[in-house]
Amino acid sequence: MKTQSYDEVRLEFVFDPDTGNLEERLVIQDPKKFEILSKEEKEKKISFAKKEAERRNDKRGPFVMGKNETIKQLEQTEITVSDRRYFMELVIYAQFDGEPLKKDGEYLSNKHIASLWGINEFNTSRKLSKFVKLGLLDKQKNKNQNVYVLKELYFSKGSNSIHKDEKFVKIFQNKLKEVVENVQKIENQKNRKRKVPIKIGDVIGLLHAVLPYFHYETYYLVKNSDEKITEDGETVLDALERNPRALKHLPKTEIGRILGHKNPDRPTIDKYFHILQQAGAVMVLTTKGRSRYLIHPDLMFRMDSNGMDAYTRHVRTQFGQHDFD
């Protein structure tokens, strides 16, 4: 019987998404291509394989990663809630690894974007120039037309630009598109019998502004979004029951400041959240006159999982049990 020497064998890892286990296999191979893995390298490959498998099997689809600290710095600029709205509508079309924004296989030029936004090309050009100046977009040339890429200072999709200790929020593009479309439907419904139409699309801009305040374990909008509230072996619900004051919820005055209001505009903020609730993006929970804002976990998420853990399923079910019309 012919025996194979050790250096002709390759260790292969195969992740089974149904069981959550990573199986090891020995494969006979060309010894010239053989690579011995250290324990640390093996653990990295296992971790990477699990994350890739979870990403491929995540029913929420593709996502863009928003970087918390740099997005928060935008509060010190001249960006408006309307600017944020138009930018979020572009996030839907972000591609992997720095490829320009694309829809239906075609890169988005100024003309395409003007059509998507429903405004003229002059105002579209001015808005895009502002985004380039703010560092939200990079402008490139393609066949004598301007095309645009999300700048990795603020957002990333599929690249290695996220540093180990950097805090970020995943924005799922399918759900974002659904929310934008729902807001448009609500606007159309409100204008059915109006002689002077109203515009409510800017409410989408609020979602961009509050990204850095999305708590990574509970999905509430809070001041302490990076603070761990669970203890070892404890569920999120256990932690909230043990310490109901663990979360420092964002008040309307703080949300107004984030949006750039010089004076608190509570009625406008209430209106924004009411529309976003109707659109399925948020849930507003009010007790004793104080509102708490919960974001749909299929729209925003921060953990490396497919969102099928018990707490996330509980929150998703809460959204599904309410009629926000």
296 and 180, same structural domain?
Answer: yes
Percent above pLDDT 70 for the chain: 82
Asked if residue 7 has pLDDT above 90, the reply is no
What is the tally of structural domains in the chain?
3
Structure-token pair, residue 194: 């109006």
In three-state secondary structure terms, 191 is coil
pLDDT at 4: 45
pLDDT band at 10 (very low <50, low <70, confident <90, very high): low
134 and 77 in contact (C-beta within 8 Å)? yes
Q: Please choose, from the candidates 275, 291, 287, the residue with its C-alpha nearest in 3D space to the C-alpha of residue 325.
A: 275
Give the domain range for residue 42. Answer: 6-56
Tens digits of per-residue pLDDT, 94-123? 999 889 999 999 999 999 999 999 999 999
Who contacts 233 (Cβ-Cβ below 8 Å, separation ≥6)? none
Sequence-distant (6+) residues with CB within 8 A of 301 are 60, 63, 169, 170, 172, 219, 307
Indicate if the pLDDT at residue 6 is higher than 50: no
- Residue 133: pLDDT over 60: yes
Rounded distance, CA 207 to CA 220, Å? 13
Residue 77 lies in a domain: yes
What is the average pLDDT score of the chain?
88
The residue from 123, 156, 189 where one domain ends is: 156
CA angle 250, 252, 254 (to 5 degrees): 60
- CA 220 to chain centroid: 14
pLDDT value of residue 2: 43
Angle, vertex CA 101, rays to CA 99 and CA 107, nearest 5: 95
**Residues 49 and 69 placed together within one structural domain of the fold:** no
Task: Check whether residue 109 and residue 222 sit in a common domain.
Answer: no
Whether residue 10 is found in the same domain as residue 111: no
Evaluate whether residue 164 is within a structural domain: no
Domain harbouring 146, CATH code = 1.10.10.10
% of the chain residues with pLDDT over 90: 70
Asked whether the predicted pLDDT for residue 199 surpasses 70, the reply is yes
Q: How far apart are CA 197 and CA 294, in angstroms?
A: 30
Same domain, 184 and 251: yes
